[in-house]
């Protein structure tokens, strides 16, 4: 299978979040018409700029738990990749 981050994954991301029990809302946040998407449920709230990123945040928390932040060693390991110095 092959899947890419394109407009055609936004509705499936919303549907996936709803199937996980989240309530999804969106709102315009500034004069440039940029959006903020929110997934709320189980006393948790996730906020992102698009539905796919929102699903990613939920999955990040699901996989890494409340201690989702990266350690200094993890940051050092992957920072070159994020900066394009691969």
Instruction: Quote the pTM value.
Output: 0.86
Grade residue 21 by pLDDT with cuts at 50, 70 and 90: very high
Mean pLDDT for the stretch of residues 20-48: 94
Q: In Å, how far are 20, 23, 80 from 7, measured between CA atoms?
A: 21, 21, 29
Average pLDDT over residues 49-68: 96
**Rounded to whole angstroms, how far apart are CA atoms 21 and 47?**
16
Q: How many CA atoms lie within 13 A of 1 on its CB side?
A: 2
């Amino acid at each position: 299978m092959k899947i890419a981050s394109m407009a055609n994954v936004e509705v499936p991301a919303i549907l996936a979040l709803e199937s996980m029990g989240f309530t999804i809302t969106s709102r315009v946040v500034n004069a440039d018409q940029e959006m903020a998407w929110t997934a709320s449920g189980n006393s948790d709230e996730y906020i992102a700029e698009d539905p796919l990123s929102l699903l990613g945040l939920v999955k990040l928390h699901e996989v890494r738990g409340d201690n989702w932040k990266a350690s200094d060693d993890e940051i050092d390991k992957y920072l070159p990749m994020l900066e394009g110095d691969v």
